[in-house]
């Protein structure tokens, strides 16, 4: 801890999301006195870092809070003595994401940032970098919490908890808070009167029950969200309506991402259309980002611009800042996080990462026990967890065989021969970011 | 038991497979003195029953064994006092199978006798009939073993073990013996020198290890079977070669049926071609059967005709007769059967049915412990088991919601909206055979 | 709910503990507006009910809160429309407890209110009465929470959750709060700055970790409590010091009750001494109670007398009132309760009752996940749980065989022959209160 | 393998049991052509080795089989190229066992060779020696099976499977075969017509069911063995009759060793009597052995003398020779062995050693799935397994704390303070054989 205040290091500080984070910290300054915010980025991101960093400084100045904004390319300097480290980096930037999305589609398979082959490649690129950061933290700030935003957030968190010495790691995602806010709106009640029982994996979670004032209102909410006009969705997912009878039979509320598994055929058709038009999500986001950075450059801008919300990361800042504030203040409130299971979902192993409600204490988040996932969803969750375990293994070892295996057992990659073709093309395309797969090659 | 010998009742006795069974019993007469074989069928199958029954009589006469062939439409008469009951019936006959295959394909989903929507509908039609038979057995022959051939054999067996009082039930399938014979041939050794460790579910099983003379030869066999010229296959599955690197990464040997899950896209393309030509597997089999019955009518035919082998049920007779002989004689040999798990696969619940090696004793089969299924296949197996549990529930209760749920969580049905359309069209098409779903309708 | 306030029914309202409860409700009136407190007892307890009830009325009057005290022998009248029901009854009163303690000691076995043969008989007498109450609640106040104090609290709660339709049941005990207060004192910090991770069963629990300001201070506390002068204890347990090296090896903090299992020989010797002197705990308590009721009669007494604290139930009132206040106000604070496991302790089944930290919400307590109990204590916990399951079964069915079995597998009853003798003598001694075991006898 | 035949190395070859083994090998020479039997012992056992070795040579000569008997003090010479290694050594000889029995009794705790404190010390002495042997085998005969007779056989086997690279290890015990022979006699049928379902741990096992000709005769056998005149027992256990109603309530058949847990008080009283008389089991056995070796010296003796049977190890030879013969000949028969669980008992972890029926194949024993241990016995089994895991850990690491912990959680050591005293006295008494606990001491 720095003198009379908190030090936060944000890896990937040049991200277009940073103004969100800064706004969140400013808002909470009374309970969360952040004295130093270090924005770290790499050489390629230097320009963006400057733009975003300067905006941050203007925001802090306007808000009149004594928070110092440090910009650096030296990660170790930033980590040293930090109390909290947040990671929002994107290895390979949006260009890599474009490849993640387009190459699978070439072979007729879903290409998406966190699911299927795209998400797999994002994991391969990201996990080694995060392991490196965790190792540095163990040296430079062993008591600090690592709060990971980088997708696929569940897999990255599991990789860290399994393979890093630094165990103070929590994965966060804005899907649960988005679902909560949407449901509160549908029920026309304040968010803090709503208790949702979450269970599952990151981007594969379910609301098992909905409580308001001690009573379950689950069936009412199921009725509401299966109305095509009122579905729960995220900016980056095509809003295809659920088959109402299916959701009623399921009896719980799937996260919007479950469309990838329960509406695979429709999603794939949509994506193939976008693919042909050169308008995959990554391509759209790249355009959005370009415009955002133009805005950020404006020396008169000293608040978070409203256009940022289109970007897709709504409430990311709230998720992160709430978590940090609760850890710091031992708030013991409930947040939905990616943590070691430890029995919370009793039909998954203890040592895997799950996305569940946790009580956030100063000593860390404690998952709330859910009991068993119901049979109909348990199978899918276990299948994805098997894939995740295999994929993490591939990311850490750089084994070609394990990588192929992970792809073949992923239910969104529906053919072993195509899996190999995608793997080979992707490995080549992302070669720079996948040194673990090329370590035996000669220069 | 009938006086000085065994009584067997075969439900669906008019099947084209019956000559196989009769041949098997004749061959084993010394150790398995079957005094009475009762072939039972329903009114619609009467003609076939006569044809097959007469052939059976000629076979017995030629073999000169004192086995009486009884033909009847009265199931209870056949069950009374039986020692073994075998079920090889097909509710709705091949015309129903044609629908099972063609309707899903209309919606772009795999149509197959045991997997996907087709297998689901076969289960819905079959399970109630088998439960009825088991109930009658509990009254008329409580000590008899029910040996179920009818597909989907694993699900039917699980339904019986969970919902019937009669617990002496074993499911059989000819896939394991086919794999064993093929591998023995590839290794150029006699079948009885080969020990395969099987684990999984019916039509979703794996050979975990291959032992010859106490040594594992697994990697050698993996090398062999990934040679497209030497793959392990069944008559009714398109022989698409495995991606070699995938199988090596998997490190165990998938049953030929695993193509439905690891080569879904290729299989679907082939099936759609056949669909357009009006040549789905059921349509081909119907043609084959017609020809077989023409042959069977020949009063000079008094042995099993070689043409039967094309039909697809190779070694079915051996599977059934070996099982009956081992139960009867307390042989304590190893057979691969569908039984209650009881920990044999330690990461599946005790009360589900699995396909594993069993020691066959007079008191029944005892599964051999396998330990855990490896992570990469465990996910898929658990997903299918979740589907199976839900599907069995739908078959027993006749719940429309559960039926839809089962379809939507099946990985071969890749869209909730299509699932509902398939369900609705199928329920209508098979209405006669699905009374449990229409019990509240007025005549 | 009664008009503008809460209705509480307390079964066994004539207990000497009642003034504690009344004091607790008075203190919390602002957040917990109890408009009606119904004290219920049976005919034999009528006199005590009057004495205690009148004291309660004087207390309420002095405190000047608008809480009505109702006294009744009609349980149904009390239950009707209640919001919370607390049970602190003692079937057979202290005379039964004296038998529970003395009869086992006659045979050289530990006699204790909640452990061993004594606790077993208390369970046999209590469980059927509680099941009856739960059934009445399902009719008369289906939304009310049943908060059970009656020992053995864990077993009674498990019996209710398994065999009653009314599932809103929570078991409470004052051991966790006593441990917490003692540890806070040892560390010289306020109680609310202390976070203890509890896990185990009622009267068989462990503090797995001790957190202050986010840091573990477990080893420091272990050092402190193994100092014979500073051990953690309860009024009713002989304060035998732990073998220091053993507790350090164990690495976690056992509840004082664990002495029954880790110091069996010493405890038994002490108890046999008391037995000879006619001074078992129940005999002492009977004397204490007599004196308490003399005090209670004093018409000038209008507060809880300090002598009550010797009775042994320190903080019982806080436990109960805190729980009710948190349920009522959706406080979402942490309390250590007896609830359905649901994976909180991942190496125990989901459907057993455990004593763990819970988050108390308006919809009920949610257990916090602990992960696995460590190997060295897991064995004992599982052994006691096996006994508890068997004992509950005996209590519900009235099966002599199951009762004998439960005794023989209890580790404090160290001989099958003695077990039978104890069982036979006890059944006769408590015949009036064990109708389930004599249902086939003629009058 | 030696030229045209088998090489067996027997560690502890100077044991009085060796003539049993030799007789067994002679009897089975046709199916098990042992060309070389190497009897290995240590310097202190040299004289006994000579005596027993010469008797073995006379036996072989009389039987006229071409088996060479080699005597050696050089273990590595014996292990080199062996096909099977059997271990029947006793670290510290019978004098150590006398201490194992007498020291705990001094403190009022059961002293026994395999249970309680005595068994624990035997484990501490034995496990490191066996680990050394396994390590040598990995170098000198990596394909050989290690067949361990040395008690506590279950714990030793688990220690080897967990901590040694050499995984071809099987633990054997003569309790199951003794139970089988006794039950066959009680039912008046040949042993090979009897099928017993065994489950549990070594010296803590149960017969779950009894089948003859496919029918359960369990209740009949329970009736028989609770007749005090017909109980199942072993030479070294006081034949205290079971409380009949208890065994009927248990519903399965406990091994004779279960008396230590279900009749602790009676057993302890008996042992304390023997202790006072200087007639503990070890003291009696020492006397028996002395007499046996006198007999063995007789140059005219060329068969196993009948007096050996009093020694207690009835059928040990059959157990070992049957196992070796089945492994060698791929017999695939059922034997009750100590092996890795792998789900066979589904409510115990996969990686612990259990005593269950196995199918013995050339590639090793495969456990038969049992399902769950019933609740009433599960608790005790889990408690002992927790102790065993902790004790093995202590034996391997030489940790004083873990050793104390193991003793304190053993249900036969009923006081933590006594546990420490016993530990301290025992460590001193066996110091020579427990180098792992004294490694930091200076000479």
Domain membership of residue D103 (yes or no) is yes
Any chain C CB within 8 A of the CB of D347? no
d(CA B112, CA B100) in angstroms, rounded, equals 7
Q: Are B375 and A349 in contact (CB under 8 A)?
A: no
Domain membership of residue C419 (yes or no) is no
Domain membership of residue D138 (yes or no) is yes
Any chain B CB within 8 A of the CB of D105? no
Q: Closest Cα to residue A244, out of B404, C1, B40? A: B404
- B121-150 pLDDT, tens digit per residue, is 999 999 999 999 999 999 999 999 999 999
Any chain D CB within 8 A of the CB of B1? no
CB-CB neighbors (< 8 A) of B264 in chain A:
414-415
d(CA D414, CA D108) in angstroms, rounded, equals 9
What would the mean pLDDT of B316-336 be, rounded to a whole number?
Answer: 95
Given an 8 Å threshold on Cβ–Cβ distance, is B375 in contact with A390?
Answer: yes
- Chain D residue whose CA is closest to C241: D417
* D203 assigned binding-site residue: yes
Q: SS3 of D311, please?
A: helix
* C141 assigned binding-site residue: no
Q: Closest Cα to residue B173, out of B32, B322, B71, B300? A: B322
For the ranges B170-179, B236-245, D119-128, which has the lowest average pLDDT? B236-245
Q: What CATH code is carried by the domain that includes residue D101?
A: 3.40.50.720
Element containing residue D335 per DSSP (H, E): strand D333-340
Domain membership of residue D155 (yes or no) is yes
* C97 assigned binding-site residue: yes
Given an 8 Å threshold on Cβ–Cβ distance, is A359 in contact with C334?
Answer: yes
Element containing residue D9 per DSSP (H, E): strand D6-11
| Catalytic residue of the set A17, A257, A260, A387 | A257
CB-CB neighbors (< 8 A) of B372 in chain D:
343, 350
Q: Closest Cα to residue A363, out of C354, C253, C194, C344? A: C194
Q: Do chains A and B touch (3 or more CB pairs under 8 A)?
A: yes
Residues in chain B: 443
d(CA A352, CA A333) in angstroms, rounded, equals 23
Main-chain phi, psi angles of C320, to 5 degrees: -70, -45
Find the angle CA(B311)-CA(B317)-CA(B322) to the nearest 5 degrees.
155
Domain membership of residue D139 (yes or no) is yes
Question: Å from A272 to nearest chain C CA?
Answer: 43
Neighbours of A89 (CB within 10 A): 23
- ipTM here: 0.95
Interface test with D, best of C249, C411, C419, C420 (most D CBs within 10 A): C249
d(CA C317, CA D69) in angstroms, rounded, equals 79
Quickly list DSSP for B105-124.
HHTTS-B-SSSHHHHHHHHH
C257 is catalytic: yes
d(CA D248, CA D230) in angstroms, rounded, equals 15
Question: Å from B152 to nearest chain A CA?
Answer: 19
D196 forms beta bridges with D210
Interface test with D, best of B369, B370, B372, B374 (most D CBs within 10 A): B369
> What confidence score (pLDDT) does residue D317 get?
83
Any chain C CB within 8 A of the CB of A189? no
Going from the C-alpha of A20 to that of each of A56, A173, A316, C201, D440, the distances in angstroms are 10, 14, 7, 46, 59
Given an 8 Å threshold on Cβ–Cβ distance, is C245 in contact with D377?
Answer: no
Could you write out the three-class secondary structure of chain C? Answer: CCCCCEEEEEECCCCCCHHHHHHHHHHCCCCCCEEEEEEECCHHHHHHHHHHHHHHHHHHHHHCCCCEEEEECCHHHHHCCCCEEEECCCCCHHHHHHHHHHHHHHCCCCECCCCHHHHHHHHHHHHHHHHHHHHHHHHHCCCCEEEECCCCHHHHHHHHHHHCCCCCEEECCCHHHHHHHHHHHHHCCCHHHEEEEEEEECCEEEEEEEEECCEECHHHHHHHHCCHHHCCCCCCCCCCCCCHHHHHHHCCEECHHHHHHHCHHHHHHHHHHHHHHCCCHHHHHHHHHHHHHHHHHCCCCCCCCHHHHHHCCCCHHHHHHHHHHHHHHCCCEEEEEEEECCCCECCCCCCCEEEEEEEEECCEEEEECCECCCHHHHHHHHHHHHHHHHHHHHHHHCCHHHHHHHHHHCCCCCCHHHHHHHHHHHHHHCHHHCHHHCCCCCC
The alpha helices in D196-305, defined as continuous H runs, are 218-225, 244-250, 259-262, 264-277, 281-297
Of A330, A333, A371, the CB nearest to C342: A371
Structure tokens at A220: 């009412």
Question: Å from B347 to nearest chain A CA?
Answer: 10
Given an 8 Å threshold on Cβ–Cβ distance, is D379 in contact with C385?
Answer: yes
> What confidence score (pLDDT) does residue C4 get?
72
Given an 8 Å threshold on Cβ–Cβ distance, is A344 in contact with C369?
Answer: yes
Contacts of A87 (CB under 8 A, 6+ apart): A10, A11, A12, A130, A133, A146, A147, A148, A149, A150
Given an 8 Å threshold on Cβ–Cβ distance, is D211 in contact with B359?
Answer: no
- Chain C residue whose CA is closest to A328: C214
Averaged pLDDT score across all residues of chain B = 94
Domain membership of residue D302 (yes or no) is no
pLDDT bucket at B441, cuts 50 / 70 / 90: low
Any chain D CB within 8 A of the CB of B306? no
Q: Are A369 and C342 in contact (CB under 8 A)?
A: yes
The one-digit pLDDT tens for each residue of chain C (443 residues) are: 566 789 999 999 999 999 999 999 999 999 999 999 999 999 999 999 999 999 999 999 999 999 999 999 999 999 999 999 999 999 998 999 999 999 999 999 998 989 999 999 999 999 999 999 999 999 999 999 999 999 999 999 999 999 999 999 999 999 999 999 999 999 999 999 999 999 999 999 999 999 999 999 999 999 999 998 888 887 778 889 999 999 999 999 999 999 999 999 999 999 999 999 999 889 988 998 999 999 999 999 999 888 887 776 678 888 999 999 999 999 999 999 999 999 999 999 999 999 999 999 999 999 999 999 999 999 999 999 999 999 999 999 999 999 999 999 999 999 999 999 999 999 999 999 999 999 876 54
Q: Are C147 and C85 in contact (CB under 8 A)?
A: yes
Question: Å from A402 to nearest chain B CA?
Answer: 6
Q: Do chains A and D touch (3 or more CB pairs under 8 A)?
A: no
Neighbours of A213 (CB within 10 A): 12
Interface test with A, best of C217, C351, C369 (most A CBs within 10 A): C369
B148 forms beta bridges with B87, B171
CB-CB neighbors (< 8 A) of A408 in chain B:
243, 246, 249-250, 262
| Catalytic residue of the set C17, C163, C257, C315 | C257
Q: SS3 of B204, please?
A: strand
**Per-run averaged pLDDT (10 residues), chain D, 443 residues:** 83 94 95 97 95 97 96 98 96 93 96 93 98 98 96 97 98 95 96 97 98 97 91 82 96 96 96 92 90 94 85 80 97 98 97 98 98 97 98 98 98 97 97 93 55
Of A262, A409, A416, the CB nearest to B416: A262
Of C344, C363, C364, the CB nearest to A343: C344
> What confidence score (pLDDT) does residue C28 get?
95
Q: Which chains touch B (3 or more CB pairs under 8 A)?
A: A, D
Task: Give B33 or C234, the one with higher predicted confidence.
Answer: B33
- B221-238 pLDDT, tens digit per residue, is 999 999 988 888 877 788
Find the angle CA(D351)-CA(D352)-CA(D355) to the nearest 5 degrees.
130
CB-CB neighbors (< 8 A) of B397 in chain A:
none
d(CA D422, CA D113) in angstroms, rounded, equals 15
Q: Are C403 and C394 in contact (CB under 8 A)?
A: yes
Structure tokens at C333: 């604070």
* D97 assigned binding-site residue: yes
d(CA A123, CA A406) in angstroms, rounded, equals 12
d(CA B414, CA C175) in angstroms, rounded, equals 54
Given an 8 Å threshold on Cβ–Cβ distance, is D214 in contact with B334?
Answer: no
Provide the CA C107 distance to its chain's centre, in angstroms. Answer: 26
> What confidence score (pLDDT) does residue C443 get?
46
- D292-323 pLDDT, tens digit per residue, is 999 999 999 999 888 887 776 678 888 999 99
Q: Which chains touch A (3 or more CB pairs under 8 A)?
A: B, C
Q: Is the peptide bond before C387 cis (omega within 30 degrees of 0)?
A: no
List residues of D with catalytic annotation: 257
Any chain C CB within 8 A of the CB of D266? yes
Of D332, D364, D369, the CB nearest to B369: D369
Interface test with A, best of B226, B270, B409, B419 (most A CBs within 10 A): B409
Domain membership of residue D71 (yes or no) is yes
Q: Exposed, middle or buried: residue D165 (CB in 10 Å: 0-12, 13-18, 19+)?
A: exposed
Any chain C CB within 8 A of the CB of A350? yes
Q: Which chains touch D (3 or more CB pairs under 8 A)?
A: B, C
The alpha helices in A30-92, defined as continuous H runs, are 46-63, 75-79
Neighbours of B277 (CB within 10 A): 9
Main-chain phi, psi angles of C174, to 5 degrees: -95, 0
- D315-359 pLDDT, tens digit per residue, is 888 899 999 999 999 999 999 999 999 999 999 999 999 999 999
**Per-run averaged pLDDT (10 residues), chain A, 443 residues:** 83 94 95 97 95 97 96 98 96 92 95 93 98 98 96 97 98 95 96 97 98 97 92 82 96 96 96 92 90 94 85 80 97 98 97 98 98 97 98 98 98 97 97 93 55
Domain membership of residue B99 (yes or no) is yes
Query: What is the spatial order of strands in the sheet that B333-340 belongs to?
Result: B68-72, B34-40, B6-11, B84-87, B145-148, B169-171, B333-340, B353-361, B364-367
Going from the C-alpha of C74 to that of each of C41, C46, C71, D311, the distances in angstroms are 8, 11, 9, 71
> What confidence score (pLDDT) does residue C233 get?
82
Given an 8 Å threshold on Cβ–Cβ distance, is A211 in contact with C363?
Answer: yes
> What confidence score (pLDDT) does residue A315 get?
85
Q: Closest Cα to residue B89, out of B17, B138, B6? A: B17
pLDDT bucket at B312, cuts 50 / 70 / 90: low
d(CA A123, CA A138) in angstroms, rounded, equals 22
d(CA A268, CA A263) in angstroms, rounded, equals 9
Domain count, chain D: 1
The residue range of the domain holding D110 is 6-172
């Amino acid at each position: 801890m720095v003198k009379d205040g908190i030090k936060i290091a944000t890896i990937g500080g040049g991200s277009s999301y940073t103004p969100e984070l800064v706004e969140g910290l400013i808002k909470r300054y009374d309970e969360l006195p952040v004295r130093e915010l270090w924005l770290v980025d790499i050489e390629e991101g230097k320009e963006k870092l400057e733009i975003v960093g300067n905006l941050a400084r203007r925001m802090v100045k306007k808000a009149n809070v004594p928070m110092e904004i440090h910009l650096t390319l030296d990660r170790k300097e930033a980590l040293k003595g930090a109390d909290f480290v947040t990671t929002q980096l994107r290895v390979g930037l949006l260009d890599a994401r474009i490849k993640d999305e387009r190459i699978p589609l070439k072979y007729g398979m879903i290409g998406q940032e966190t699911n299927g082959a795209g998400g797999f490649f994002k994991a391969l690129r990201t996990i080694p970098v995060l392991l490196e950061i965790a190792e540095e933290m163990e040296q430079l700030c062993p008591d600090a919490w690592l709060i990971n935003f980088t997708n696929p957030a569940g897999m990255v968190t599991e990789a860290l908890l399994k393979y890093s010495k630094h165990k103070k790691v929590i994965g966060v995602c804005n899907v649960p808070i988005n679902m909560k806010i949407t449901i509160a709106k549908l029920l026309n009640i304040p968010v803090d009167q709503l208790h949702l029982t979450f269970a599952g994996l990151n981007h594969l979670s379910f609301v098992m029950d909905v409580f308001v004032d001690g009573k379950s209102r689950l069936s009412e909410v199921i009725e509401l969200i299966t109305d095509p006009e009122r579905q729960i969705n995220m900016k980056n997912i095509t809003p295809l309506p659920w088959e109402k009878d299916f959701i009623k039979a399921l009896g719980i509320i799937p996260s919007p991402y479950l469309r990838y598994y329960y509406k695979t055929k429709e999603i794939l058709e949509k994506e193939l259309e976008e693919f042909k038009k050169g308008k995959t999500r990554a391509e759209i986001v790249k355009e959005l980002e370009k415009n955002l950075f133009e805005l950020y450059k404006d020396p008169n801008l000293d608040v978070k611009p409203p256009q940022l919300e289109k970007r897709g990361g709504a409430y990311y800042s709230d998720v992160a800042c709430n978590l940090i504030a609760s850890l710091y203040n031992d708030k013991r409130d409930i947040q939905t996080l990616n943590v070691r299971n430890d029995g919370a979902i009793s039909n998954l192993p203890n040592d895997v990462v799950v996305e569940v409600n946790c009580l956030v204490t100063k000593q860390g988040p404690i998952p709330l026990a859910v009991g068993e996932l119901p049979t109909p969803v348990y199978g899918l969750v276990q299948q994805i967890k098997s894939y995740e375990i295999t994929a993490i293994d591939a990311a850490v070892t750089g084994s070609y065989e394990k990588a192929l295996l992970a792809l073949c057992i992923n239910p969104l990659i529906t053919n072993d021969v195509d899996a190999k073709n995608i793997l080979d093309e992707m490995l080549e395309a992302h070669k720079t970011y996948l040194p673990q797969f090329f370590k035996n090659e000669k220069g």
